Structure 1
Amino acid sequence: MIVDKEDKTATNTFMLNTKFLLILFVVIANCIEPLVQQNAALHVLYLGIYTFHIPMFVMVTGYFSRNFKLDVSGIQSLQLIFYHYLIFQSLYSLLDALAFHAPSVRYSFFIPYSLLWFLFSHFCWRLLLLLFSKMKHPLGISIILGLLVGYAPFSGTMLSFSRTIVFFPFFLAGYYLQWDRILKTIFRMNKYVSAMLLLSILFLLHVMLLDPKWLYSSFTYIELASIHWYTGGYRLGIYLLEIVASCCFLRFVPRTPSLLTEWGKHTVYVFLLHALITKTAISMGLFTYVHTAVQIALVLLLAPAMTWLLLQGWVRRLCKPLIEPNLTFWKRWITDKHQI
């Protein structure tokens, strides 16, 4: 039993380290996105990051949802997710209308703004978990649904419908798989081989000229201009690519407790706030001045600097009333109801 507790602690540490590195790659991807059309190397790097950072973030989210039940604690977690979506969907939409003016933005509470799709989907994943946990083969069924949802005759962005279903298998993988055993297998992988596989994936992405929309998973097959009966096989190939890239990435995640572990506990601050900085920079036209290798390198260095800044204690204290408010009225309401 002691060994099990030690394994669980080690796995939790690993997942928190993973969580921090993933939010770092989220920031890097968003920082280089305005530059990918003018630089082939950044374009390949951007695609490479997308092969693992969303699937793994969903997986880690599933892992940390293992204690979810529709009890007081579970309702409060859903309430906080919904609160984040409500506040930041409103905030980002307002800022976009007044300042950012991002192209092709449709202002609707039911169409998540930019990266806020993750909040909407996370809310849905937890509710879907209540249904799929009663099934015999939930992971297999979720993969089949991920392939079939692409044939939907409507837009995949509405209610984050496509991404919710397509990435749901990774959420279930995080929830169900025995990660102590899986990580032991991953740690036995040769780092050199893992690095070579990642480089091979980057080369493959460069040769294939893969449309990033396939990695976003927010579009139906009609929206991807691929409406053949066998198109679901393409998404199955994307699943396999994401699994291989994710396993290779996990091989380089530190296993021991460190400052990364502590930062991994507070990634919600980076997730919700970093776009305020990147979208302000885009709206001010700052990225139009980035051309040389030195300037690109500076952008790549500013991404981890921004991540570090948003994880500082004074930033968390300043923003805590907005990001981690005291939402206890549900608990009081349920307590009062039981007392009646």
Structure 2
Amino acid sequence: MTNDIPDHGDRRVPMPPQSAAGRATATALAPPAAAAVPRQSPAPRQDAAPAPKKQRDAFFDNAKYLAIVLVAMGHAWEPLRDGSRAAAALYITVYAFHMPAFIIISGYFSRSFDMRKDRLQRLITGVAVPYILFETAYTFFKRWADDDPGYPISLLDPWYLTWFLVALFIWRLTTPLWKVVRWPIPLALAVAVAASVSPDIGDDLDLQRVLQFLPFFVLGLNLKAEHFKLVRNRRARIAAVPVMAGALLFAYWAAPRMNAAWFYHRDAAQELHAPWWSGAVMTLAMFGCSLVLVACFFAWIPGRTMWCTALGAGTLYGYLLHGFLAKGSRFWDWYDAAWLHTPWGAIVLTLIAGTVITLLCTPPVQRVFRFAMEPKMDWAFKKDPVGAARHRS
């Protein structure tokens, strides 16, 4: 049997002679000889470009700013409650959700906290040091403005607004614990209920507030971005209107009948002259009520960048600094003016409170007081040899 394809073996079939044009084309396309290519040293290794800075979420900055405005307004309304049932109703309604909203956001942004060195340093410089400085400053302010030279400096007994810094420090340190337990929110609620019926806890570090507000922080730790999106739609915004209106009507009815101290979460039930079991009932009921109102509040928060969005980064400045004016207004009898206790006076006072707290959150104020709020303090911490070696490389 013969093959259809002839086998030429090792024989070479001569190619036809190349034309001059073909030789020119081959010469042009051929790579240069290896000897003609100069040897080059490898290019130096380029450092990777730094990762772009993570942008802040406008929704949360807007929420923090509006929450701190409500804090200031609530403090402005407090002396008006006795003479105005409407002011008392507004005060109760705002106090039912403004600090829970702030604490939930604080918990949400504490999700990544662990015992890593840099995060512990930020906790010390951003929370513990401001607490020490402002607790001391508030004490000297009270001695001078209230003519009380014997008022003691006590870091174990937070005065006025500084309780939040103590609470945030403790909550954040316990974050790893809430990440490993199976039912963190029910456990935190159980702790809050136990605190509300335990008058022996005392006033050290304002532990009643730390423990009774704890469920809101733990809830924030367990929330995800999609949970906030559930209330950020048109249907939720519309539903929030009758809910908030109903809350205001209920507050108007309850103002002369209810002890507003329940909203401060700083006392056990027995200290409010109520039966012990009412502490458990009120803690659970107010937790549910606060969550509903917080959801309504979040539903109305715009998610786009606005003129006030940048102020959300300075809310702690406004919170701590406005305390001097809030307390000074009582020490210096500013509320003795009769016009403040009229409807127009209350409106003007509300606008003043909103304007002052806004100014205290602005970047110029942040630059002036950054030494107290966000001190660098590199000198106070040991150098990280691993981090230094990474930086040199």
Q: Same fold (TM over 0.5)?
A: yes
| Aligned residue in 1 for 2:220 | 174
Q: State the distance in 2 between where 1:189 and 1:233 align.
A: 31
| Aligned residue in 2 for 1:90 | 136
Letter in 1 for 2:363: G
* Structure 1 vs Structure 2 CA RMSD: 2.3
Residue 29 (structure 1) aligned with residue 74 (structure 2):
yes
Residue 73 (structure 1) aligned with residue 118 (structure 2):
yes
Residue 191 (structure 1) aligned with residue 237 (structure 2):
yes
Residue 315 (structure 1) aligned with residue 360 (structure 2):
no
Aligned counterpart in structure 2 of residue 146 of structure 1, from 165, 177, 192:
192
| Aligned residue in 2 for 1:53 | 98
Letter in 2 for 1:90: T
Residue 125 (structure 1) aligned with residue 171 (structure 2):
yes
Residues 188/296 of structure 1: CA separation in 2 closer, same or farther (3 Å cut):
closer
Greater Rg by CA: 2
| Aligned residue in 1 for 2:376 | 326
Q: State the distance in 1 between where 2:186 and 2:357 align.
A: 36
Aligned counterpart in structure 2 of residue 278 of structure 1, from 319, 326, 329:
326
Residue 287 (structure 1) aligned with residue 335 (structure 2):
yes
Aligned counterpart in structure 1 of residue 161 of structure 2, from 106, 115, 131:
115
Q: State the distance in 2 between where 1:323 and 1:182 align.
A: 29
Letter in 2 for 1:219: D
| Aligned residue in 1 for 2:355 | 305
Aligned counterpart in structure 2 of residue 214 of structure 1, from 257, 262, 268:
262
Q: State the distance in 1 between where 2:99 and 2:345 align.
A: 27
Could you tell me how far 1:216 is from its partner in structure 2? 0.6
SS at match of 1:37: helix
| Aligned residue in 1 for 2:384 | 335
Residues 114/194 of structure 1: CA separation in 2 closer, same or farther (3 Å cut):
same
Q: Which moved more, 1:147-156 or 1:246-255?
A: 147-156
Could you tell me how far 1:42 is from its partner in structure 2? 0.8
Q: State the distance in 1 between where 2:223 and 2:301 align.
A: 18
Provide TM-score, normalisation by structure 2. 0.78
Give the number of aligned pairs: 328
Q: Which moved more, 1:230-239 or 1:133-142?
A: 230-239
Q: State the distance in 2 between where 1:117 and 1:51 align.
A: 18
Q: State the distance in 2 between where 1:258 and 1:186 align.
A: 17
* Contact persistence 2:131–2:166 (CA under 8 A): yes
Deviations 1:127-162 (A, max 9, x none): 111222221111111011111111213155321111
Letter in 2 for 1:327: M
Residues 50/99 of structure 1: CA separation in 2 closer, same or farther (3 Å cut):
same
Q: State the distance in 1 between where 2:131 and 2:154 align.
A: 12
* Contact persistence 2:199–2:267 (CA under 8 A): no
Residues 188/173 of structure 1: CA separation in 2 closer, same or farther (3 Å cut):
farther
Provide TM-score, normalisation by structure 1. 0.89
Q: State the distance in 1 between where 2:331 and 2:137 align.
A: 16
Residues 336/190 of structure 1: CA separation in 2 closer, same or farther (3 Å cut):
closer
Residue 233 (structure 1) aligned with residue 281 (structure 2):
yes
| Aligned residue in 1 for 2:295 | 247
| Aligned residue in 2 for 1:16 | 61
* Contact persistence 2:130–2:373 (CA under 8 A): yes
Q: State the distance in 1 between where 2:119 and 2:363 align.
A: 27
Q: State the distance in 2 between where 1:169 and 1:152 align.
A: 17
* Contact persistence 2:321–2:360 (CA under 8 A): yes
SS at match of 2:240: helix
| Aligned residue in 2 for 1:3 | none
* Contact persistence 1:151–1:220 (CA under 8 A): yes
Q: State the distance in 2 between where 1:303 and 1:320 align.
A: 23
Q: State the distance in 2 between where 1:136 and 1:50 align.
A: 31
In structure 1, the gaps of 5 or more residues are 1-7
Q: Which moved more, 1:319-328 or 1:177-186?
A: 177-186
Residues 303/152 of structure 1: CA separation in 2 closer, same or farther (3 Å cut):
same
Could you tell me how far 1:182 is from its partner in structure 2? 3.6
* Contact persistence 2:104–2:217 (CA under 8 A): yes
Q: State the distance in 1 between where 2:156 and 2:359 align.
A: 31
* Contact persistence 2:100–2:216 (CA under 8 A): yes
Q: Which moved more, 1:264-273 or 1:230-239?
A: 230-239
* Contact persistence 1:156–1:220 (CA under 8 A): no
Q: State the distance in 1 between where 2:220 and 2:157 align.
A: 26
Deviations 1:74-94 (A, max 9, x none): 111221211011000111011
* Contact persistence 1:150–1:219 (CA under 8 A): yes
* Contact persistence 1:18–1:250 (CA under 8 A): yes
Q: Which moved more, 1:198-207 or 1:236-245?
A: 198-207
SS at match of 1:112: coil
